[in-house]
């Protein structure tokens, strides 16, 4: 059973939509109505040996990343992060000084995205792990779900692809990782301002690219009941990725579209506004952005395909990280 098979099996145990639940399971964050406003709620767990390695990241990096990945989920809803609580699993071998360093990273990232750390819990455990829960404020235009894409919409990606996955490929191959590429793994960016630009501009569906472009686009297509065609030549690939992957003899499609940890934003937007919105969202964060393809009617075969320059296509939906099928 893969990660998303497990999530589907757990879905019946989760509350469905109600008067106070606007969006439940299946999006980057849940959305609840509190009084006269809406808030989004998300949680991510980072575990040593799965999400980070201490020979590659400092504990300050780990703290930063724990906040960033949650803020990225909030960004994918078109919302603004507001407050967070932290659960810390601390092995006895991790010193008080190291825990202080970890929380310095949490604090630095919180300040960067205007987030307040307001509490949490600590326990003794065998492995170092962090669970961060973030609340976000939803603007008047409302949260953007994964489920609203329509045939004829265009697909926009904001943020470069492939950096973190390429650095980790270098590590796996015993090669000193490129410092600029490794930085994307150590200290990812949550594109909160870009998410708000896309939401205000009428994005019909949106999510962040955490598991890999292929898998995450597959989730968007599944939620919306549509298909997608992506142009390989249009993908905003991080500089240096192609040459590194060429030197490693790696399949660039597998790494760029399936490596994960990009924390770019992927959105379906009205076709007539796609170029304008891509440019505005990219400018809001000073990151690359591009119109990469189109939403189509759900095909009988793979929901999402990559159109290569030689005229062939590849199935994208199987490309991505799965915690239970690594």
Per residue in 143-199, pLDDT tens? 999 999 999 999 999 999 999 999 999 999 999 999 999 999 999 999 999 999 999
Q: What is the third-level CATH fold of 154-315?
A: Phosphoribosyl-aminoimidazole Synthetase; Chain A, domain 2 (3.90.650)
Is residue 273 pLDDT above 60, yes or no? yes
Instruction: Give the pair of three-digit tokens for residue 38.
Output: 């809406």
Is residue 325 pLDDT above 90, yes or no? no
Strand order in the sheet with 37-47: 21-23, 30-34, 37-47, 129-137, 80-90, 116-124
Q: What is the pLDDT of residue 9?
A: 77
Nearest to 72 by CA among 3, 168, 159: 159
Q: What's domain 10-137's architecture?
A: 2-Layer Sandwich (3.30)
Q: What is the pLDDT of residue 311?
A: 93
Q: Out of 7-16, 133-142, 311-320, which region has the weakest mean confidence (pLDDT)?
A: 7-16
Mean pLDDT computed over every residue of the chain: 93
Q: Angle 192-200/274-285 helices, nearest 10 degrees?
A: 150
Is residue 28 pLDDT above 90, yes or no? no
Q: Decide if 69 contacts 109 (C-beta within 8 A).
A: no
Q: What is the pLDDT of residue 4?
A: 61
Q: DSSP class of residue 77?
A: T
pTM: 0.93
Contacts of residue 256, defined as CB under 8 A and 6 or more positions apart, other chains included, come to 161, 162, 165, 166, 213, 235, 237, 241, 245
Higher pLDDT, 6 or 189: 189
Q: What is the pLDDT of residue 244?
A: 98
Q: What is the pLDDT of residue 323?
A: 54
Euclidean distance between CA atoms 179 and 258, whole angstroms = 21
Residue-range domain boundaries for the chain: 10-137, 154-315
3: region left, alpha or beta (phi > 0 left; psi from -120 to 50 alpha): alpha
User: In the beta sheet, which residues pair with residue 85?
Assistant: 119, 133
- Outline where the chain has alpha helix (H): 3-10, 59-76, 96-112, 163-172, 179-186, 192-200, 213-224, 241-248, 252-258, 274-285
Q: What is the pLDDT of residue 17?
A: 58
Q: Decide if 210 contacts 258 (C-beta within 8 A).
A: no
Is residue 15 pLDDT above 80, yes or no? no
Is residue 22 pLDDT above 90, yes or no? no
Q: Decide if 196 contacts 280 (C-beta within 8 A).
A: no
User: In the beta sheet, which residues pair with residue 30?
Assistant: 41
Query: How confident is the model over 214-247, as pLDDT tens digits?
Result: 999 999 999 999 999 999 999 999 999 999 999 9
Mean pLDDT (whole number) for 105-114: 98
């Amino acid at each position: 059973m893969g990660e998303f098979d497990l999530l589907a099996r757990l879905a019946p145990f989760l509350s469905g939509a109600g008067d106070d639940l606007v969006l439940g399971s299946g999006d980057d964050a849940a959305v609840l109505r509190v009084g006269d406003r809406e808030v989004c709620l998300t949680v991510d767990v980072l575990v040593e040996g799965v999400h980070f390695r201490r020979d590659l990241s400092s504990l300050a990096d780990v703290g930063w990343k724990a906040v960033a990945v949650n803020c990225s989920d909030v960004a994918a809803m078109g919302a603004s992060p507001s407050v967070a609580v932290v659960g810390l699993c601390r092995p006895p071998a991790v010193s008080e000084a190291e825990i202080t360093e970890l929380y310095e990273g949490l604090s630095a990232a919180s300040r960067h995205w205007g987030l307040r750390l307001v509490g949490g819990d600590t326990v003794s455990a065998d492995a170092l792990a962090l669970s961060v829960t973030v609340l976000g404020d939803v603007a008047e235009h409302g949260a953007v779900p994964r489920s609203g894409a329509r045939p004829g919409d265009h697909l926009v990606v904001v943020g470069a692809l492939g950096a973190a996955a390429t650095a980790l490929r270098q590590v796996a191959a015993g090669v000193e990782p490129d410092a600029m590429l490794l930085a994307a793994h150590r200290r990812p960016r949550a594109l909160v301002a870009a998410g708000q630009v896309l939401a205000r501009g009428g994005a019909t569906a949106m999510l962040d690219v955490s598991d890999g472009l292929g898998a995450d686009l597959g989730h968007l297509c599944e939620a919306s009941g549509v298909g997608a065609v992506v142009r390989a030549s249009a993908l905003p690939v991080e500089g240096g990725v192609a040459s590194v992957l060429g030197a490693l003899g790696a399949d660039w499609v597998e790494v760029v579209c399936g490596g994960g940890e990009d924390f770019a934003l992927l959105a379906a937007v009205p076709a007539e506004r796609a170029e304008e919105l891509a440019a505005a969202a990219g400018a809001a964060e000073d990151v690359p952005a591009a119109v990469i393809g189109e939403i189509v009617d759900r095909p009988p075969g793979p929901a999402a395909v990559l159109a290569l320059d030689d005229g062939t296509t590849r199935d994208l939906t199987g490309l991505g990280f799965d915690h239970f099928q690594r």
